C-alpha cells in the first residue's frame, strides 16, 4: 500500500530525527515504525528523536506503536526519545491507563538531543553487554568528527 | 448533530477530529478536548476492528447537564460479556484491553448496550464544567 504522505526521517550525525506533523492514522503509524527501524539498520543510527508535539492525542494504538518501536530499536542497538508531548496528551495517556514503558521522553528537541547523547554514550561504556562482534564505532563522545 | 460513518481505518481519524472540533466549539478546555478525541478514537477503532463498520453520532447538549454526547453504533457480533469487556486489560484479541475501560475513565458517563449477533451501542458523555 502506497502512502502518499509518508513522514520524513532526517539523519543528523549518529541520530535520526522524526517530526510527526500530521494526524497519525493507524496504518501510517505502522508505516512509520517500519521506516524508522529500516533507517536505523541502514544508517547504524544510535538514537532517534521523535517529535510528537503536533499530535493532538495519543491513543492506545499510537502509544503501543511508539513503545513497540522503542523495544525493537533497542534490539538494533538504538535508543528512542519522544519529545514534545503536550501536557494534555500526557494527562490523557495516564487516564487511558497507558505507560510508555521503555520509552525515554524529553520536553523538547534540545533536551531530547542531550538525553540521547547521554544514554547512547552510557550504552557504549558499561550498561550494555558486549556480545555483538560487529558492533559499530564506539568513540563518539564528541559529535562533529564526521 | 454530526454523523461520521466508520467504514475504513481512516474514518477513525475523521471521527476523533470531528469530536475534538465540536468539543472546542462548545468551550471544552484542551485537556477535555484531548480526553474526548482519545475516547472517540478507541471506540471508533473498536467498531472498525470488531464490527467492520458502524456510525458515530456526536451531539451537543445532553441531559442532565450540558455537554457532549457521543453514540457509537454497529451491527457487528456484539459483546458476550460486557462486564468482562470492561475489565482493564481484558481483550479477546490479545490487544491491551484499554479501549473500553479507558474511554470510561476519560468520559463522565458511559453506557453499553449489546446483543450477540445484533450489534453494540456505546454512549459516552462529557459534561462542561459548571
Ligand atoms: N463494538 C464492538 N463489537 C464487538 N466487540 C467489541 C466491541 N468493542 C469491544 N469489543 C470487545 O471488547 C473487548 C475489549 O475492548 P477494548 O477496546 O477494551 O480492548 P481491545 O480492543 O481488545 O484492546 P485495545 O483497545 O487496548 O487495543 C474487545 O477485545 C472485543 O472483544
Ligand atoms: Mg479497543
Q: Is A60 on the interface with B (CB under 8 A)?
A: yes
pLDDT above 70 (res A123)? no
Residue stretches of chain B with pLDDT short of 70 = 1, 62
State the ipTM, two decimals: 0.94
CA of B74 to the centre of ligand 1 (A): 13
pLDDT given at position A137: 34
Please indicate, yes or no, if residue A1 is contained in any of the structural domains. Answer: no
For ligand 1, whether the C-beta of B47 sits within 6 Å is yes
In a domain, A2, yes or no: no
Domain spans in chain B, listed from the N-terminal domain onward: 2-127
Using pLDDT thresholds of 50, 70 and 90, give the confidence band for residue A85: very high
User: Is A69 within a domain?
Assistant: yes
Residue A144 has pLDDT above 60, yes or no: no
Testing the interface with A: which of B18, B30, B41, B42 to mutate, by most A Cβ within 10 A? B41
In a domain, A34, yes or no: yes
Ligand nearest to the CA of B88: 1
Q: Among A18-27, A62-71, B61-70, which is the least confidently predicted range?
A: B61-70
Range of the domain at A54: 9-141
Indicate the average pLDDT of chain A: 84
Q: Give the lowest-confidence range in A116-125, A131-140, B103-112, B119-128.
A: A131-140
Instruction: Name which residue sits closest to atom 1 of ligand 1, judged by CA.
Output: B47
Is residue A126 predicted with pLDDT exceeding 70? Answer: no
Q: Please tell me which residue of chain A has the smallest CA distance to B33.
A: A88
CATH number at residue A74: 3.30.750.24
A4 is a domain residue = no
Task: For ligand 1, pick from B51, B56, B85 the residue to mutate: most ligand atoms within 8 Å of CB.
Answer: B85
> d(Cα B96, Cα A98) in Å, to the nearest integer?
9
Res A143: pLDDT: 38
Expressed in percent and rounded to 5, the helix, strand and coil fractions of chain B are 40, 30, 35
Q: Establish if A26 belongs to a structural domain.
A: yes
Average pLDDT of A99-120?
A: 93
Ligand closest to B56 (CA) is 1
Contact A56, A64 (CB under 8 A): no
Q: Please indicate, yes or no, if residue A3 is contained in any of the structural domains.
A: no
Would the pLDDT of A89 be above 50? yes
Closest-CA distance of chain B to residue A58, Å: 7
Pick the CATH number of B2-127 from 3.30.70.1230, 3.40.50.2300, 3.40.50.720, 3.30.565.10: 3.30.565.10
pLDDT score recorded for residue A124: 53
Q: Look up the pTM and report it.
A: 0.90
pLDDT of residue A134: 36
Amino acid at each position: 500500500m502506497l502512502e502518499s504522505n509518508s513522514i520524513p526521517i532526517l539523519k543528523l550525525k549518529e541520530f535520526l530525527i522524526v517530526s510527526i506533523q500530521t494526524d497519525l492514522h493507524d496504518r501510517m503509524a505502522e508505516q512509520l515504525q517500519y521506516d524508522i527501524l529500516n533507517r536505523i539498520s541502514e544508517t547504524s543510527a544510535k538514537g532517534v528523536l521523535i517529535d510528537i508535539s503536533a499530535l493532538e492525542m495519543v491513543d492506545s494504538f499510537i502509544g503501543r506503536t511508539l513503545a513497540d518501536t522503542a523495544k525493537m530499536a533497542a534490539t538494533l542497538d538504538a535508543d528512542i526519545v519522544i519529545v514534545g508531548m503536550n501536557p494534555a496528551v500526557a494527562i490523557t495517556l495516564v487516564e487511558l491507563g497507558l505507560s510508555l514503558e521503555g520509552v525515554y521522553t524529553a520536553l523538547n528537541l534540545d533536551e531530547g538531543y542531550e538525553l540521547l547523547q547521554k544514554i547512547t554514550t552510557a550504552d557504549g561504556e558499561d550498561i550494555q553487554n558486549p556480545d555483538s562482534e560487529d558492533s559499530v564505532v564506539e568513540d563518539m563522545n564528541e559529535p562533529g568528527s564526521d | 448533530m454530526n454523523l461520521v460513518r466508520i467504514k475504513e481505518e481512516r474514518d477513525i481519524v475523521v471521527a476523533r477530529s470531528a469530536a475534538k472540533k465540536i468539543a472546542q466549539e462548545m468551550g471544552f478546555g484542551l485537556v477535555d478536548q484531548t480526553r474526548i478525541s482519545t475516547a472517540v478514537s478507541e471506540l471508533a477503532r473498536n467498531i472498525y476492528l470488531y464490527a467492520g463498520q458502524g456510525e458515530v453520532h456526536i451531539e451537543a447538549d445532553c441531559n442532565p447537564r450540558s455537554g457532549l454526547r457521543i453514540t457509537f453504533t454497529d451491527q457487528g457480533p456484539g459483546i458476550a460479556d460486557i462486564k468482562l469487556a470492561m475489565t482493564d486489560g481484558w481483550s479477546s484479541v490479545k490487544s491491551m484491553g484499554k479501549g473500553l475501560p479507558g474511554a470510561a475513565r476519560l468520559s463522565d458517563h458511559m453506557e453499553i448496550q449489546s446483543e450477540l449477533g445484533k450489534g453494540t451501542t456505546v454512549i459516552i458523555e462529557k459534561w462542561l464544567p459548571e
